[in-house]
Structure 1
Amino acid sequence: MDSKELKDFLDTKADQYEQPQFVRDDPIQIPRMFQLRQDCEIAGLLSATISWGNRKSILKSGHRMMELMDGSPYDFVINHSKSDLKPLTGFVHRTFNGVDLITFIHCLKRMYVQYGNLEAALLANLKGDSLQTAIHRFKQDFFYEHPGTRTLKHLGDPAKGSAAKRTNMFLRWMVRPADKGVDLGLWKNISSAHLSCPLDVHSGRVARKLGLLDRKQNDAKAVIELDHSLRELDAMDPVRYDFALFGLGVFEKF
């Protein structure tokens, strides 16, 4: 298909899948449980961080994390005692375990004490328009007091070649408007135009079949290449096509 046909096709698919029913089986349902901005941010970052593997397992683990934080993640992060952390030690989701969850809680507390919210933390690490560079700096900032721990592997780093799929997904949730009933649109100081597609095996496979991506690895270079292709289709909101690529790959086995 030519470029206009491709855009029309992907626009249709993006509209088809960016619907409230998408939330039912997606990890974004975890942050959407909350009203308080900080609760949404914490629930979003933690749920995105464990978002690999079976989706039912991801949802079960995401809800379990919220239960372990008494259904009030921000209050738990800010006000927890050492004894409050003990029940978290038994948490396991694939390679993300209780040690990782507790480390995230310590890191999140420092970020909120220092910045007030995670959008401000990311903006402090944003130089120019590159969110991928900001993700690298944000990770360094996030783990500032916990260098060299096993938990670092759970946040991807574009500077080290990672596609940072889960962090890019978290940013999509926070930044893109909430008018379609899926993303949250909580962060008003970052433009959707600067977002990158959460590249994974499904979106990567479909993107290659549609001629949007040539690179075979799903890595940081592939994210840049896919960014370029999607921005040609919609420069102001390129990541809306994440719904199309994901839906075509997961639901339609395109």
Structure 2
Amino acid sequence: MDSIPPRAEPAPDRKSLTSWDRAKRSQTKRVLITAYDHPFAKLAEQAGIDGILIGDSLGMTIQGGRDTLRVSLEHMLYHTEIVARAAQACLIMADLPFGSFEASPAQAFASAALLVKAGADIIKLEGGAPMVETVAFLSARAIPVCAHIGLTPQHVRQLGGFKKQGKTADAAALLLADAQALAEAGARMVLMEAIPAPLATEITKTLTVPTIGIGAGPGTDAQILVLHDVLGLSGGYVPGFARTYLDGASLMRDAIGRYADEVRTQAFPPPG
């Protein structure tokens, strides 16, 4: 039987943004995962995760929607508060949901400030060049921002589905320019989703701020996956770039089924 290799220890300082900057300079990979509730956030932190994203992906993984567009700011505040309460040693990132930031920088600040008060250390927002002014506005007002480019799920209807971005030379150049503009505006991190690996590597080498990849190859400073994909709990569409490390759905279904069987056969609860 193959031995299980020892797990790498997480950095002692996972929470501060300056520690993420140092990790980039030292080429130390960092890892994030999504989580939406207290038990899973606590487990993720105990497993050594460096950062937890409370993503608007909860619209699909938790609420059962076909996209993220129905997630409200109130939903995000609720899940951010309970995750932040559970995981206090790692970085907490929260999404600005659709409709909560696009109208104006002032709207974005009002929404982001509520998420910070709920426990977020950094706020993620989707969009390229149109969001540069908003990123600058938030950064100047003590709101750390992670910019999200490439496949931006809130634009899924404009994009025609969850499709890989930046595949042509022109599209790649536009994404590189967006990443540079967002970083220059004050973004502390840039997340890249579903773009070619060489492009993600080029952007990572160009920027001085940390990059996070999901479906963007191994050349980014950090990686993130959706918790439910990792644990085999998605129960539906799983992106081709994701990796499942556990058949969680079968294990949990079996446990619940055994409980039901024991009740029906009167093996549970025990007498007395």
The alignment's TM-score, normalised by the length of structure 2, stands at 0.27
Larger radius of gyration: 2
More strand by share: 2
Structure showing greater relative contact order (alpha-carbon pairs closer than 8 Å, 6 or more residues apart): 1
